[in-house]
Structure formats: structure tokens, C-alpha cells
Amino acid sequence: MMIIHVDMDAFYASVEQRDQPDLMGKPVVVGGTAQQRGVVAAASYEARKFGIHSAMPSSRATRLCPDVIFIPMRMNYYREISDQIHEILLRYTPLVEPLSLDEAFLEVTDSTRLFGGSANIGKRIKNDILAELGLTASIGIASNKFLAKIASDLEKPDGFVQIPEPYQEFLDTLPVTRLWGVGNVASKKLTKIGIHTIADFRLTDEKVLEKTLGHRAQQLLRLANGVDDRKVIPEIEAKSISRETTFVTDIQDFRTLESSLMHLTEDVAARLRRKGMFTRTVGIKLRFANFRTITREKTHAESTNITQPIWKSAQNLLHNAIGGTKFRVRLIGVHLQSLVSEHEHNNSLFNRTELNQQSQVDSVVDSINERFGKSTVHRGIASDPSKN
């Protein structure tokens, strides 16, 4: 097995620093203020230098660093970005198991041939996340979940660690606190009997370990030997698939918007196909320069997973929403809802011959993009729907 653990660095705080560049390099805490009796949800690395960490009362954070800047949580926004990260991960394997908004395991055993090794996949994920989302992730690569999670934490932030095979020599040098479940209390007990590293732990008599830690000793011994056979369990099918992009400068030109929407649509449609799902509802989202946000949706009688009809629908929605008007758009997005499995899918209303052709076009585009990286191939934009 080849497992990658992806862990975003100080996720909420990094998102806020990215969006408000004057927060870069400053101690930032996302969470409620001391006056609000708040708690630290995330601390930037600059804040961590003062000893601030998550779950700490904000009043204590303020005492540790009087200059700390509090930013309110924007949970829905972090969730959107988490979806975008998830979509990046799904480019490399369908076996993605999210642990939280900012952490996931990937099983890449079968993807390594396609992408040239697990280290390559790890590097590409890191690059994609940085280039597309402006955020850093730490990557751990190993032959199981336990080792991969240790690895991602070793060089945080912006870490990249692949645990070598055989791994035991590497594992042995690490402090025993790296074992899951060895917290303060256990580590004090272990220090007392001279156990500091994982090697110390592993080479200690089982009876002694059991006397010190009770029934947990067996499980910890397995981990100390690097044994962990838990599988990566992909997320239960998402009920919707979405993708959006925020422009660096506001867009006032319809063609530019259309072309962004086309790229996003290709993305969500490819993801839909990877999941083996079909959609009936296509929606778009627009956020204007004044932050007013609108969504438009269209539910069709029949489901599809083919890019062309999905794109037609999205293009129509865009046209009806703002075609022929003046606008300044800062964000555009597309989402697919009412997802159904192949079993529930029925495309009898569409012309089958044409759809079969389109379906073949899609699979060629998908395989090229999967081989050479996203967005190698795009369709041309179809004609203006108002002229049809």
C-alpha cells in the first residue's frame, strides 16, 4: 500500500492571511476574542511562536501575545476551500478519506504508475494546492496511515516527508510521543522507566509495558512496529459537486466569464464521471464587486454526465443572469446537484447517437487531462446561446 497524508498548514489562519495580505507574517488567531470569551480555533505560525495553540481560551492568547490579531471564523468559506482541496486530491485517486476540513488520507497504490511514483503525486498535490489556492500543505508518504500521518507532521509547515522502506530504522529514532495515544500522562510514566524513543518502547519487555500502560500497550506495540492495516475509506458520495474561482481583478467582459465557466464546468463534469454519477441540476453562482452573490439553477428532466449538455445549461444560466448587462464579477462558480448513480440514470430523452459521440469525446479529454495534468485540453466555447 502507498498512502499519502495531506495536512494543510494552520488552515483557517492561512486562509485569512492569504485573503488579507496585510496579515502576512503577523500573529493571527481565528476564533472569538477574549471579550467574547472566545476560543482559539486556529493560530498562524507567527502566533504559535508565542505559545498560542488551538482550543486555548482567547484571553490566554491575548496574555501570551498582546498584539495578536483576532479574525472571526468563516466556516462556510473554509468549507468551500476544503472542497476545492478535495477536488485537487481526487485528480490523483478516487480513494480520498477526509479526516477534517484540512486533512485527508489518499491511497495512491494504483495511481503511482500513472503519475510516476508516490513522491511525484505528493509533489504535484503540494504544487497544485499552492498554485491554485495559494496555501501550503504538508505531505507525508508511507506504506500505511499511521506512518503517513507521522510523516506529514515531521517538517511542518510546508513539509514533505516520505518514510523510507524498510521504515523501522527511521521510526525507531522518533520520540515515543509520536505514537498515537501517548500523551502527557503516558509519556511521563514511560520516561520514568527510561523509555524515550520508539526503539526504547519496542525493545522493552511486553509485561513491563502492560504494567505501565495497561491494555493499551498491545496496540501501541503494534504502532511502534509500524503495523497499521486500516484502509483508506473514501467519503460517502457527495450530494453535490461544485467548483468556483475568484478573479484577481473584477471581470467586466462576458466572454472572459464564459470561458472561466467553461473550464469550471469541464472540471465538475470530469469529477462527476470519476465518481460514476449523473446530474440533473446545474447551477451557477456569481459574486459581484460589491459582494452581492446570486445563484441560478436549472433542474432537467433527465440526468447526464456529459460535459456538453451540462455546459449548455450553465451557459444559459449565465446568459439569462447577466447577458447584455453591465457587471463587475469577482467570483464565478458552477455546481451540480440531484446526483444519481448509473442505476438511477436514464438519458432516453437525449439523442443517443450524439450523446455517445460526446461521451467518447469526454473520455478522451479525461484521460489526456489525467495523464498530463488538469486543463491540458479544453473544448472550444460553443456559440452564444442567444443566437441559437
Any idea which residues carry the catalytic annotation?
103
Q: How many CB atoms lie within 10 A of CB 328?
A: 12
Which C-beta is closer to Mg ion: that of 82 or that of 305?
82
Q: How far apart are CA 342 and CA 346, in angstroms?
A: 8
Q: In what order do the strands lie in the sheet with 103-107?
A: 96-100, 103-107, 3-8, 137-142, 160-162
Q: Is 102 in the site for Mg ion (CB under 5 A)?
A: yes
**Integer angstrom CA distances of residue 336 from 77, 95, 100, 218, 296:** 18, 21, 23, 47, 12
Which region holds residue 364: left if phi is over 0, alpha if psi is between -120 and 50, else beta? alpha
Of 49-57, 98-106, 120-128, 313-321, which part binds Mg ion (CB under 5 A)? Answer: 98-106
| 46 touches Mg ion by CB under 5 A | no
Nearest to 162 by CA among 119, 129, 124: 119
Residue 7 found at the interface with Mg ion (CB under 5 A): yes
Give the shortest CB-269-to-Mg ion separation in angstroms.
30
User: Residue 100 CB, nearest distance to Mg ion (Å)?
Assistant: 8
Which one, 154 or 289, has the nearer CB to Mg ion? 154
The contacts of residue 326 (CB under 8 Å, 6+ apart) are: 252
Task: Please report how close the Cβ of residue 10 comes to Mg ion at its closest, in angstroms.
Answer: 7
CB closer to Mg ion, 8 vs 90? 8
Q: Please, what is the minimum distance in Å from the beta carbon of residue 130 to Mg ion?
A: 15
Q: Which is nearer to Mg ion, 180 or 372 (CB)?
A: 180
By CB under 5 A, which span of 8-16, 237-245, 300-308, 369-377 interacts with Mg ion?
8-16
Q: Which of 102, 244 has the CB closer to Mg ion?
A: 102
Phi, psi of 263 (to 5 degrees): -65, -40
In the bound state with Mg ion, the residue whose beta carbon lies nearer, of 102 and 128, is 102
- The residue range among 90-98, 102-110, 179-187, 358-366 that interacts with Mg ion, by the rule CB under 5 A, is 102-110
DSSP secondary structure letter of residue 95: -
- Parallel, antiparallel, or unpaired: how do β-strands 293-304 and 3-8 relate? unpaired
Min separation Cβ 363 and Mg ion, Å: 36
Q: Cα 140 to the chain's mean position, in Å? A: 15
User: Judged by CB under 5 A, which stretch of 84-92, 94-102, 155-163, 267-275 contacts Mg ion?
Assistant: 94-102
User: What part of residues 156-215 is at the interface with Mg ion (CB under 5 A)?
Assistant: none
Residue 340 to residue 351: CA distance in whole angstroms = 20
Shortest Cβ 386–Mg ion spacing (Å): 47
Q: What is the DSSP letter of 379?
A: P
Q: Which residues bind Mg ion (CB under 5 A)?
A: 7-8, 102
